[in-house]
Amino acid sequence: MTRTADPDAWQAAPSSARIGAGTAGRYLRDALLLAWRAAPLATTAKLLLALLAGVGPVALAWLTKLVVDRLAAGEAGRHLGELLMLAAALGAVGAIVAAQPHLTGYVDGVSGRALRLLVTGRLYTAVNSFAGLARLENPRFRDRLQLAESAGRLGPAHCVSGGLGVAQGVLTLFGFLGSLLAVAPAMVLVVAVAAAPTTWVEIRLSRQRAALAWRLGHAERREVFYARLLTSLEAAKEIRLFGLGDFFTNRLLRELRHVNRERNTMDRREMLGQATLALLAAAVAAGGLAWAITLAADGRLTVGDVTLFVAAVAGVQTALGGMVAQGAAMHHALLLFDHYRAVVGAPPDLPEPAGAVDPGPLRQAIELRDVWFRYADGQPWILRGVDLIIPAGSTVALVGLNGAGKSTLVKLLCRFYDPVRGDVRWDGTDLRDLDVVELRKRLSVVFQDFMGYDLSAAENIGVGDLERLADRAGITAAARSAGCHDALAALPAGYDTLLSRIFLDDAAEEDPRMGVSLSGGQWQRVAVARAVLRDERDLLILDEPTAGLDAEAEHQVHLRLRALRQGRTSLLISHRLSTVRDADLIVVLDGGRIVEQGSHESLMAAGGRYSGLFHLQARGYQAPDDHSSDRESQVRT
């Protein structure tokens, strides 16, 4: 059975500001389970503290009523022992109620941090499990990922705190409502009616807040993008030279203004709603007090009843306010937790066969059969019916103009995407039936847009094969092959030099020589060394591996790569045709179609596209006078 993939399945989870009671209950349970798994002790302590915080105020009010009633009845002398016991109980409960917020704060911190660790690990494990690239290229997914990253990491902790806050409020509320029922049953009705609009308004506000977070996600991501751009070292040259600083700052401020406007509107709504609710609460409290005083004057309530009544009205309103606020915060956190769940629970973006096959060593060939590919529905076809065989042990070169689809073909070989039509086969087995992790272990690639990591020089090569990260001899040999050993050895701390001007560890910060940047060509050699370290792989793919190198270095690196390719299966992409002429097969891609293939000699003899490109490049190295002799052989490219 194949685990079906759906690159858009993450969208199925609700992205609106509504969440049903059943879903909310499920999410809350999941958040609690996560909290329990992350920090069982702290979570238990949180539960107990919430219980204490819930019943504490009610106990205080009742103890106060009992003391006041005894004192008002002039029975202090007769019941002194009992009164002192009540006073001691009041002190003890008061101490617990006073200490509870501090204990809760501490426990919240401990459990929140543990939970964040767990949730963060799960989030990035999920992101790493997406085998393809399409999801990461989807702007809506990135919005969701950002919400999952920011709110999602704290979201579960907020869900738990909110849930416990609500539970605590419910305890207090029912405790005081029970008390009110004992002294003035009609007042229960008044308080309950007054609570209804509060609950309704707060839930509405919470929905609006969550919808706003979703709506603003895109603008906030752009804001972060401009902010990063303005401080990015890579962009700094162009930004300064082209005078782009104000341009990007203005764009950043435009996004920020938009976000501010929306948030101000939301705050205004919140302020108006909550101020109205506060007025309503004050009116209910004042009316209730006047009523209780009237009853006490008639002798239908004791002084203790009035104190209990006052405490109960205040307690109910505080509990209700807290409950609704915590409930709203929980509701907001649950809606944001939804984004986290959508990312973490997203099904595979590429189909995963249940019985995925280990590709095993390449023995015959990699074959593309009538491969059609485009990056999204409605976008132009990038590959149009490509049929290509890369025989095991041979070097195939892929050439063609910019945008012909060469790098796209490489991405399909790595299975970053699946063909829309047709298939790619490894010794006859469709790549879709292979274990993608095992497949990638059999590939070594120098990507056109390779990475330069803010790590040490040795690590920058070692990441090519994590098992050899500590294999200094292997790393040095790879660097020699790629022609960057001398440059790396000459760095201030040799291979241990941090290739970064951004992150310096404590020791490095004190040593101004530690953060070093390489030249473009040197970085490229490091990328080649990374691929060389990954030797013994079945397929070596080199996508413009020497584009940034000087002529001498290019020659040397190609000589070494040629030696490395010897007897291996390799795919070489290069615009410099002199570097591909010794390939066993040269394939010319044009507009997503293979228009020619053959050996250098046969393609030159055919006088087609390849020969035209070759002559064009060769002419670039000749004196102007020589050009006339070539004019007849010019082919439009």
Ligand X SMILES: Nc1ncnc2c1ncn2[C@@H]1O[C@H](COP(=O)(O)OP(=O)(O)OP(=O)(O)O)[C@@H](O)[C@H]1O
Task: Summarize the chain as % helix, strand, coil (round to 5).
Answer: 65, 10, 25
Beta carbon nearer to ligand X, 175 or 521: 521
- Residues whose CB falls within 8 Å of the CB of residue 51, separated by 6 or more in sequence, listed in order: 168, 171
Q: Cβ distance 268 to 214 under 8 Å?
A: no
Work out whether 375 is an interface residue with ligand X (CB under 6 A).
yes
Which residues from 99-138 bind ligand X, rule CB under 6 A? Answer: 137
User: What whole-number distance in Å separates Cα of residue 1 and Cα of residue 24?
Assistant: 32
Position 570, amino acid: S
Work out whether 403 is an interface residue with ligand X (CB under 6 A).
yes
Min dist. Cβ of residue 236 to ligand X (A)? 25
User: What whole-number distance in Å separates Cα of residue 598 and Cα of residue 583?
Assistant: 9
Identify the CA nearest to 581 among candidates 590, 589, 572.
Answer: 572
Work out whether 361 is an interface residue with ligand X (CB under 6 A).
no
Beta carbon nearer to ligand X, 215 or 575: 575
Residue whose tokens read 């239908």: 300
Q: Which of 104, 111, 307, 408 binds ligand X (CB under 6 A)?
A: 408
Min dist. Cβ of residue 377 to ligand X (A)? 12
Work out whether 400 is an interface residue with ligand X (CB under 6 A).
yes
Mask 137-166, x = binds ligand X (CB under 6 A)? x-----------------------------
- Residues whose CB falls within 8 Å of the CB of residue 495, separated by 6 or more in sequence, listed in order: 456, 457, 458, 472, 475, 476, 479, 488, 489
Q: Cβ distance 331 to 200 under 8 Å?
A: no
User: What whole-number distance in Å separates Cα of residue 151 and Cα of residue 146?
Assistant: 8
Site residue total, ligand X (CB under 6 A): 12
Beta carbon nearer to ligand X, 380 or 624: 380
Min dist. Cβ of residue 538 to ligand X (A)? 22
Cα 575–581–583 angle (5° rounding)?
A: 100
Work out whether 406 is an interface residue with ligand X (CB under 6 A).
yes
Beta carbon nearer to ligand X, 320 or 398: 398
Which residues from 445-484 bind ligand X, rule CB under 6 A? Answer: 448
Work out whether 217 is an interface residue with ligand X (CB under 6 A).
no
CA distances to 56, 89, 352, 421, 604 from 376, in Å: 60, 70, 20, 13, 37
**Where does 125-207 show beta strands of DSSP type E?**
none
Beta carbon nearer to ligand X, 522 or 574: 574
Min dist. Cβ of residue 637 to ligand X (A)? 13
Work out whether 382 is an interface residue with ligand X (CB under 6 A).
yes
Distance between the two ends of the chain, CA-based, in angstroms?
A: 48
Mask 429-448, x = binds ligand X (CB under 6 A)? -------------------x
Position 281, amino acid: A
Beta carbon nearer to ligand X, 251 or 384: 384
Min dist. Cβ of residue 470 to ligand X (A)? 35
CA distances to 78, 93, 172 from 68, in Å: 14, 17, 21
- Residues whose CB falls within 8 Å of the CB of residue 173, separated by 6 or more in sequence, listed in order: 316, 319, 320, 323
- Segment interacting with ligand X (CB under 6 A) among 61-69, 140-148, 405-413, 563-571: 405-413
**Residue 626 in tokens:** 């020589």
- Segment interacting with ligand X (CB under 6 A) among 150-158, 239-247, 282-290, 401-409: 401-409
- Residues whose CB falls within 8 Å of the CB of residue 454, separated by 6 or more in sequence, listed in order: 498, 499, 500, 502, 503
Work out whether 404 is an interface residue with ligand X (CB under 6 A).
yes
Beta carbon nearer to ligand X, 45 or 588: 588
Min dist. Cβ of residue 384 to ligand X (A)? 12
Beta carbon nearer to ligand X, 198 or 408: 408
**Residue 398 in tokens:** 């892929």
Min dist. Cβ of residue 196 to ligand X (A)? 52
Beta carbon nearer to ligand X, 325 or 404: 404
- Segment interacting with ligand X (CB under 6 A) among 31-39, 139-147, 354-362, 395-403: 395-403
Q: Cβ distance 404 to 573 under 8 Å?
A: no
Min dist. Cβ of residue 542 to ligand X (A)? 13
Work out whether 407 is an interface residue with ligand X (CB under 6 A).
yes
Beta carbon nearer to ligand X, 407 or 602: 407
- Segment interacting with ligand X (CB under 6 A) among 163-171, 252-260, 363-371, 402-410: 402-410
Min dist. Cβ of residue 222 to ligand X (A)? 19
Q: What is the dihedral of CA 141, 143, 147, 153, to 10 degrees?
A: 50
Min dist. Cβ of residue 448 to ligand X (A)? 6
Identify the CA nearest to 182 among candidates 55, 310, 286, 309.
Answer: 309
Min dist. Cβ of residue 438 to ligand X (A)? 25
Beta carbon nearer to ligand X, 162 or 419: 419
- Segment interacting with ligand X (CB under 6 A) among 71-79, 102-110, 360-368, 398-406: 398-406
Beta carbon nearer to ligand X, 46 or 406: 406
Beta carbon nearer to ligand X, 31 or 410: 410
Beta carbon nearer to ligand X, 291 or 375: 375
User: What whole-number distance in Å separates Cα of residue 356 and Cα of residue 83?
Assistant: 77
Residue whose tokens read 């010319």: 588
Q: Cβ distance 314 to 285 under 8 Å?
A: yes
Query: In a 3-state reduction of DSSP, which class is residue 74?
Result: coil
User: What whole-number distance in Å separates Cα of residue 187 and Cα of residue 171?
Assistant: 18
Work out whether 521 is an interface residue with ligand X (CB under 6 A).
no
User: What whole-number distance in Å separates Cα of residue 584 and Cα of residue 394?
Assistant: 6
34 CB burial (10 A radius; 0-12, 13-18, 19+): buried
- Segment interacting with ligand X (CB under 6 A) among 16-24, 44-52, 183-191, 403-411: 403-411
Min dist. Cβ of residue 409 to ligand X (A)? 7
User: What whole-number distance in Å separates Cα of residue 146 and Cα of residue 124?
Assistant: 12
Work out whether 405 is an interface residue with ligand X (CB under 6 A).
yes
- Judged by the rule CB under 6 A, the positions of this chain that interact with ligand X are 137, 375, 382, 400, 402-408, 448
